[in-house]
Amino acid sequence: MYKSKTILLFFCALFMNSSVAEVVNKIDSPDGLYYVNPKGVNKISVVGEKDNDGDYKIQIYNEVSIYSAIQSGELTIRGWWYPALQQFNFQNYEKVIGVSRCNKWGERKWSFKYIQEKVNVLGRDISVYKQIYDYGKNNKPSGSCVGVRIDTNTCERHRCNSWEDPKPNGYIVKSKQDAHDLFYLIKE
């Protein structure tokens, strides 16, 4: 009887520790974290409380961008973070240089999934959440129009010069310094 209780307690402790480790390796709320890709560093802000499904409405503000038209502090992305999927569903703010009345929110898209990983940045190993080429069953990331033609009189988008396939090249990072150091290494 004594041995069976010890074994049962051991397996309960093992199960509890493994489930805790799984939670630690995933992002619940991304509030205050930084989204980094080769085009910039952005700060993630959660709007309100977790919804009934356990998801978060998010807004992402630019910190640094390779594009001079995007200002620091500007809202550039809005959407949702899905902790169960470890994916964003988002819209980019599309700016038309010189014709601000044509600026608008783009179509909703899915990101790739994120997993926790160690990355060497300037001789330091930092913990990041890295996009991987994986996504939910109905949540496939879609391509982006590059060089869209816009009628500046009507603001109508006419055609795409080319399409760019999505690439899993984004990171979520905890500290501002790590975000900027990582961006320095991967920027376009």
Taking only the tens place, the pLDDT of each residue in 57-108 is: 999 999 999 999 999 999 999 999 999 999 999 999 999 888 999 999 999 9
| pLDDT at residue 24 in the model | 58
| Structural domains in the chain (count) | 1
| pLDDT at residue 4 in the model | 44
Structural domain range at position 77? 29-186
Give the side-chain half-sphere CA count within 13 A for 30. 28
Strands 34-37 and 75-82: unpaired
Q: Does residue 150 carry a pLDDT above 70? A: yes
pTM of the shown model: 0.84
Q: How many residues does the chain have?
A: 188
Whether 4 maps to a domain, the answer reads: no
Whether 14 maps to a domain, the answer reads: no
